[in-house]
Copies of this chain bind each other. A is one copy, B any other.
Amino acid sequence: MTTQDQDRELLEQIRLLFNDRIPFNKVLGAVIDSLDYDHPKVRFEMRPELVGNFVRGNLHGGVISSVIDVTGGLAAFLGVQKRLSDEPLASKLERFGALGTIDLRVDYLRPGFGQWFEATGYVLRTGNKVAVTRIELHNDEDSLIAVGTGAYVVG
């Protein structure tokens, strides 16, 4: 395979893993919207099960922190891939499985109203062991609902 083919293969595998093989991602309905190395995006639709406040009908805080966490992890993984592109595919995928969140801060800025939501992640720093990423969650009207900052083990 050429490097480009291998990249494409990797991204397809990641998409498959993320969307279909992580059970709680399916509960959230979270799917990869973009695997841009610098600004990956994860999207999900509002559904009645995702509500926190039944009177107001907005997203549960846990849905917000969950999506922020997985988007930050995706950004961390892609950030490392960008630096270490000569690994074989199998070990890259293994690295995705070994990725772990060290800690995460979430700031809840506005109630999560909307028909769908999109989280975008980006890397602040990638090291050999730890990556630090930030994540923004917008609703379908482009209001900033919440932001996060997370540290991830990547090595």
Docked-complex contact B97 and A103, CB < 8 angstroms:
no
Give the oligomeric copy count.
Answer: 4
- Which residue from B67, B97, B103, B130 sits with its C-beta under 8 Å from A62? B67
Docked-complex contact B132 and A129, CB < 8 angstroms:
no
Stretch in contact with the other chain, from A5-13, A20-28, A33-41, A74-82:
A20-28
Q: Does A118 contact B (CB under 8 A)?
A: no
Q: Does A114 contact B (CB under 8 A)?
A: no
Question: Dominant SS at the A interface?
Answer: mixed
Q: Does A63 contact B (CB under 8 A)?
A: yes
Please indicate the chain B residues that have their CB under 8 angstroms from the CB of A106 in the complex.
65, 101, 103-104, 106
- Which residue from B50, B55, B101 sits with its C-beta under 8 Å from A97? B55
Please indicate the chain B residues that have their CB under 8 angstroms from the CB of A21 in the complex.
54
Give Cα distance in the complex from A18 to B31, angstroms: 28
Please indicate the chain B residues that have their CB under 8 angstroms from the CB of A52 in the complex.
22-24
- Of the listed residues A51, A54, A104, the one surrounded by the most CB atoms of chain B closer than 10 A to its CB is A104
CB distance from A18 to the nearest CB of B (A): 11
CB distance from A67 to the nearest CB of B (A): 7
Residue of chain B at shortest CB distance from A20: B54
Task: Please give 17 more A-B residue pairs, beta carbons under 8 A apart, in addition to A103-B107, A129-B155, A149-B149.
Answer: A23-B54, A24-B49, A24-B52, A55-B97, A61-B69, A62-B62, A62-B67, A65-B65, A100-B108, A102-B132, A103-B103, A103-B132, A106-B106, A110-B125, A124-B144, A129-B130, A130-B153
